[in-house]
Structure 1
Amino acid sequence: MDITEYRDLDATALAGLIRTGQVSADEVADTARAAVTAVDGELNALVGELFDAPLAHAPDGPFGGVPFAVKDLITHAEGVPQRAGSRLLGDGVPYPYDNALMTRFRRAGFATVGLTATPEFGFNAATESVANGPTRNPWDTTRSPGGSSGGSAALVAARALPVAHANDGGGSIRIPAGNCGLVGLKPTRGRTTVGPDHSDPLLGLGIEFVVTRTVRDCAGVLDAVHGAEPGERYVLPAPGTSFAEAAARAPRRLRVALSTTAPDGAPVDPANVTAAERTARVLEDLGHEVVEAAPVYDTAAFHDANFTAWTSFLADAALGLSAALGTPLSRDVLEATTLACAEHGATLTAIDLYTADRTFNAVTRAVAAFFGEHDVWLTPTTAQPNTAIGHLDADDAGLDARGWYDKIFRFAPFTALSNVTGAPAISIPGTPSSEGWPVGVQLVGAHLGEETLLAVAGQLEQAQPWADRRPAVLAG
C-alpha cells in the first residue's frame, strides 16, 4: 500500500480493506510506520521511537489491524514505559498491566505503534514540555497543535495515523481537534472507562477517548469501546441505537443555542466568531432553529473551583510520584508552573475540595436547566485558531499557579464547562482562518446526548465537508 493511498483512508475504510483481504494488516502497519517516520521529524509528535512491532491486538475486531497510537498519559499498556510528559519519570515507568480502556482498544483491533506527546501531566492547551520539546502543528509548524492531546492530533492531522487516543480534562481532546482540523468528541462522563486506576480522575473532569478525521470513525470507535467495567462509579444506560447509526442519519429539527462570547469575557478572535456563525447559518439552512443564548452561571466561582480541581490533581500526581520514586520535587524535574500548581494544591484542605464540589453541582444544575430549553449549544472551540510555539510556556517562572491557569483558559474559555457538567461535547472543523489555519467549532449536548451530537456533526460534515483539506506537513 502506497502512503498516498493510505493517507486518504479513514479508520473505517482501512478496516474494511483489511477485513476483505484487499490489503494485509502487515502491509498497512509497514505503511503507517513509513508515514509516521516521514512527518515526525518536523512535528515531534512521538515520545520515543516507534515500537518494533504493533502491540498485540484482536485481528477480528471492528478495527482489526488499523494503526493507532496511545497518548503518554493515563491510558497505558502492559510493559510500555509512561512518562506523562515529565522529567520526573525519567525514561518512563512501565505498568505491569493494561488499563481497561487499553484492553478495549486491543479488543477493537487497533494496532498500537507508539506513544504520542503530552505536556507535563496534561495541564496545558499546547503540547510543549521540557522533557519532549514542542510538538508542532502540521498546518503551520510555527504554531502549536493545541493540547494536551497535541501529539495524537498532529499525527492524525498529518494523515500519518487515521485515529489516536486522547483524553480531556478541560478541553484536551477538543482543543487540538479544533487547532488541527479534526473531529474530537469528549463523551459523557462514564461513557468510557477510566478503570481500574481511577474512579473520578481530576475530581470527575477527566475523560478518555480519541481524535479522528471523520465523524463515522468517531462514532465507530465509541461503539467499540464504550461501557462500564465492574466497580465503575458511573454505569450509563445503553444508547438507543449504535453511535454509527446515529452519525449516519439526519437528526430531528433541533433548537440550537449560539454563543460566540466567552463566558468569562476573554477576547475571541474574529476567525473563531465567523466559524461559529457560519456553522449556525448552515444549521438554519438544514432546517434547525438557531437562537442566541448561553447558560448562565457564576463564572468566577466556576474558575475558582476548576483551579482547585486542577491544582489538587497536580499535587496528587507530583507528590505521589515523588514519594514512589524517591525523587524530591524541584525545577530539575518539574516545569515551573507545574511545581507552582503542585505547591498550591498541597495547601488545599478537605473544605476547599468540598467547596469546589458544591460549585460544580450548582453549575451543573444551571447548565442542565439550559438544556431543558435547547438541544445543542454551539460555540467556537477556542478563542483563537491556535497559539504560537512558546506562547503557552509551562516553564515560565514568572507565572504563579493562578497566573498559569488563567493563561490557559483565556485561550480555551469554552471547553472546561463540559468537563465540570459531565455532558458530551464535540469539536468539528469550521471555516478556516485567512491564514488557512483550521478553526474548530464546538457542539455541546445534554447529558447522554452523544447520539444527537454525532447526528448533527455528521450532517455538518456532509454540508460543509472538510475531507479534502490538506496540511502543509502531510504523510507522503
Structure 2
Amino acid sequence: MNIDEYAALDATGMAEVIASGEVTADEIAAIATKAITAVDDKINAVATGPFDRPLEYAPDGRFAGVPFAIKDLVCHAAGVPTRMGTRMLGDGIRPPADTHLMERFRAAGLATLAVTTTPEFGFNANTEAVTYGSTRNPWNLDYSAGGSSGGSAALVASGAIPIAHANDGGGSVRIPAGCNGLVGLKPSRGRIPMGPDMGDALSGFAIEFAVTRSVRDTAALLDDVAVSYPGDRFVIAPPSRPWAEEVNADPGSLRIAVHAESWADTYVDPEVAAAVDSVASTLEAAGHRVDRATPIFDWQQLLDAHVVIWSAFLAESVAGIEAMTGIVAGPDNLERTTWECVQYGRRVTAVQLGMANAIINTVSREVGRFFTEYDVLLTPTSNSPSVPLGQLNADAELTAEEWTKQIFDTCSFTPLFNATGTPAISLPLAQSSRGLPIGLQFAGPMCSESLLLRLASQLEQALPWADRRPGVHVTSL
C-alpha cells in the first residue's frame, strides 16, 4: 500500500482492507508512523509519540489495526504520559490504568500511536499551549487548528490517521472539526463513559468522542464506545437500532430551523453566513421544511454562568494535580488566563455555583421547548472559518471574565449545546475564498443522534467533501 492509497481510506475502509489480508496491521502502522512524523514537522499536533508500536488493541474489533490517537486530556491509557496541556505536569504523569473510554477504544480495535496536543486544561478554542507550542491548521499554517481538540483534528485532516479521540466542553470537538474540514459529533450528555476517574466533567458540560473524515466512521465508532458502566452518573436511552444503520437511511421531511446571527451579538464572517444560506437551500430542495428561528435566551446570563462553572472546574482540576503531585500551582507553571480562572474559581461559593446552574436550567428548558417545534437547528459551527494563530492567546493578561468572553465571542454557536447536554454535529459543507473549510452545525434534542446521523449522511451525499485535501497532507510531503 502506498501513501496515496492509505490517505484515501477512512477508518471503515482501512479496517476492511486490513481484514481482507491485502495489507497487514503492522504494515499500516508503519505507514501511519511515517505519516505522523512527516506532517507533525509542519503542524505540531503530537504531544507524545509516535510510539514504536501501537498500544495493545483487540484484534477482532470493528476497527482492528486502524491507526488512532488520543487527545492529551481526560481520556488516558495505562502507563502513557499525560500532561493535559499544562507545564504543571512537566513530562507527564503515567496513569496506572485505562479510563473506561480507552478500554472501549482498545476493544474497538483502534491502534493508538500517539497523544495529541490540547490547550491548557482544554480551555481555549485554539490549540497553542505554552508547553507544546502552536498547533497549526494544515489548510493554512498561519491559522489555528481550532480547539481544544486541535491536535487530533489536524492529524486527521492532514491524512496521517483516519480518526482520533476528541472531547468537547464548549465546542472542542465541533470547532476543530469545522476548522479542519472534518465530521465532529458531540453526543448527548451521558452517552460516552467518563469514568472511572470522573462522574462527569465541567458540571456536565463536557463529553468525550472523536473527529472523523466520514459520517459512517462517526456512526460506527459511536456504536462501539457508547457503553454505560456501573456507577455512571448518567445512563440515557439507547438507540432503537445501531447508529451505523442510520447511514444512508432516509431522514424523512424534517422541521429545520436556521439561525446564522451570533447569540453573542458578535461578528459572523459573511462567507460563513452565506454557507448557512446555501445549505439551507439544499435542505429545502431535499424536501425539508426550513424556517428562520432560534431559541430565545439571555446570552449574558449564559456567559456569566460559564465564567463561574469553567473557573470552578479549573480550580478543581488544579487542586487535584496539586494533591496528586505535591506541585503548587502559580503563575510560573500556569498560563496567565488559566491562573486568573483558577483564582476566580477558588473564590466561587456554593451559592454562586448553584445560581449558575439555575441559569443553565432556565436556558435548557427554553432549548427543550424549542425542539418541540423543530427537529433540528442549523447554525454555523464558528463565527469564522478559523482565526489567525495567536488571536486567542491564553497567556495574555486578561481576567477570567475577559478570557471567557473572548473565547465565546469568537465561537458563539457551540457552547449552548454543552450547557443543555443535547447533541450537535459539525459537518464540512463549505469552503471560504481563502480555501479554509467552513463547518456547519446541526443540533437536536436529547438523544437525537440517530436523526442527526441520518441528516448528516444525506448531506454527505448531496455536498461531498471526501476529495478535499489541505496543502499540508501526507500525499504532498
Aligned to 2:353: 353
Match of 1:261 in 2: 261
- Pairing 1:315-330 to 2, within 5 Å after superposition: 315-330=315-330
Residue identity matched to 1:407: Q
The reply on whether 1:333 has 2:336 as its aligned counterpart is no
Cα pair 1:274 1:431 within 8 Å, conserved = no
Shift in Å at residue 248 of structure 1?
A: 2.0
Deviations 1:149-184 (A, max 9, x none): 000000000011000000000000000000000000
Is 2:86 the partner of 1:86? yes
8 Å contact kept, 2:429–2:464: no
Q: Is the 8 A contact 2:184 2:212 kept in 1?
A: yes
Q: Does 1:465 pair with 2:464? A: yes
Q: Which moved more, 1:279-288 or 1:315-324?
A: 315-324
CA-to-aligned-CA distance 1:55-101 (integer Å, 9 cap, x gap): 00001100000000000000000001100000000000011000100
- How many residues align? The count is 475
Do residues 43 (structure 1) and 43 (structure 2) align? yes
Structure 1 residue 285: Cα displacement: 0.8
RMSD: 0.8
CA–CA distance in structure 2, aligned partners of residues 307 and 449 of structure 1: 28
Deviations 1:405-455 (A, max 9, x none): 111001110000110111000000122111010010000011100000001
1:33-61 superposed Cα distances (whole Å, 9 cap, x missing partner): 11111100000000133111100000110
Please report how far the alpha carbon of residue 323 of structure 1 lies from its aligned counterpart in structure 2 after TM superposition. Answer: 3.3
Q: Distance in 2 between matches of 1:470 and 1:104?
A: 30
Aligned to 1:364: 364
Match of 1:236 in 2: 236
Report the AA paired with residue 210 of structure 2.
V
Q: 1:227–1:236: 8 Å Cα contact kept in structure 2?
A: no
Residue 238 of structure 1: how far off its partner (Å): 1.7
1:276/1:430 contact within 8 Å kept: no
Q: One-letter code of the match for 1:235?
A: V
Q: More displaced, 246-255 or 185-194?
A: 246-255
Partner SS state of residue 93, structure 1: coil
| SS of alignment partner, residue 257 of structure 1 | strand
* Identical columns (%): 51
1:57 partnered with 2:20: no
- Does structure 1 conserve the Cα–Cα contact (< 8 Å) formed by 2:306 and 2:404? no
Match of 2:138 in 1: 138
Query: Which runs of structure 2 are paired with 1:364-443 in the superposition (5 Å)?
Result: 364-397=364-397, 399-443=398-442
Distance (whole Å) between structure 1 residues aligned to residue 107 and residue 178 of structure 2: 29
Structure 1 distance, partners of 2:296, 2:340, is: 31
Any residues of structure 2 matched to 1:27-176 within 5 Å, and which? 27-176=27-176
User: How far, CA to CA, are the matches of 1:226 and 1:63 in structure 2?
Assistant: 15
In 2, Cα distance between the equivalents of 1:25 and 1:430?
32
Q: Which amino acid aligns with 2:387?
A: T
Following superposition, the deviation at residue 400 of structure 1 comes to: 1.1
Contact kept in structure 2, 1:278 and 1:431, CA below 8 Å: no
* Alpha-carbon distance in structure 1 between the residues aligned to 2:48 and 2:22: 32
Which TM-score applies when normalising by structure 1? Answer: 0.99
Deviation at 1:27, TM superposition (A): 0.7
Shift of 1:324: 2.6
Three-state SS of the structure 2 residue aligned to 1:470 is coil
1:212 — aligned with what?
212
The aligned amino acid for 2:48 is: G
Q: Which residue identity lines up with residue 142 of structure 1 in the other structure?
A: D
Write the distance in 2 (CA, Å) between the matches of 1:415 and 1:379: 9
Structure 2 counterparts to residues 282-297 of structure 1, below 5 A: 282-297=282-297
